[in-house]
Structure 1
């Protein structure tokens, strides 16, 4: 439940940021057309500041005007923020899958197929193993 709440918060924050960008971009062309004779940096910054302070007012105006850039941008912002919050983080990267990609520091239990590969391991009877062990210990005692 906590993971879902965190994803929901990420979704809301990214949606808010993307929606503010869409509001500024969608209203930019009408603003330039309106201010074409007296366009200045101060007027442009004031326009952006007004959009950030009152996003709901400006978005309702754009909805009433049926601004196609705003409609397309808002739909894209909703889809993109939903994808970023809920879908894109579900896939595990190559380094998170220790079963398939073992790196230094990653640990897991080995599979029997990895341990008992044909031609690499030898089967020794328990009695022979004890004889070999005792023989190796006797050689070290003599030294």
Structure 2
């Protein structure tokens, strides 16, 4: 009878570990999605700059940044700056909310503290174009 109880305890600990791994993997998937969207928007602007062979108008950058905010959230920003000659720098920043991992919370191994932490991601791309 004691063997069954020990087996159940070991299985319960294992299931808690699997649940923790699932939570972390969901957070990492969301973070990867945000990075992919930021890179996609940056590439879109880079291809536009190359196609018009120059810097975009202010209104075009505002439209691009508006779409960026729709896809990455209101805390995101984007900029397109001339970088001398035939070059530009495209930058995107966004904010992600992730559960804070606390080494002392929940179990002997640690776990989530329940608090949300804001993490800022950023991506920049240098673009050269021909006039």
TM-score (norm 1): 0.31
Structure number with the bigger relative contact order (C-alpha 8 A, sep ≥ 6) is 1
**Counting strand residues as a fraction of each chain, which structure ranks higher?**
2
The structure having more radius of gyration, on CA atoms, is: 1
**Counting helix residues as a fraction of each chain, which structure ranks higher?**
1
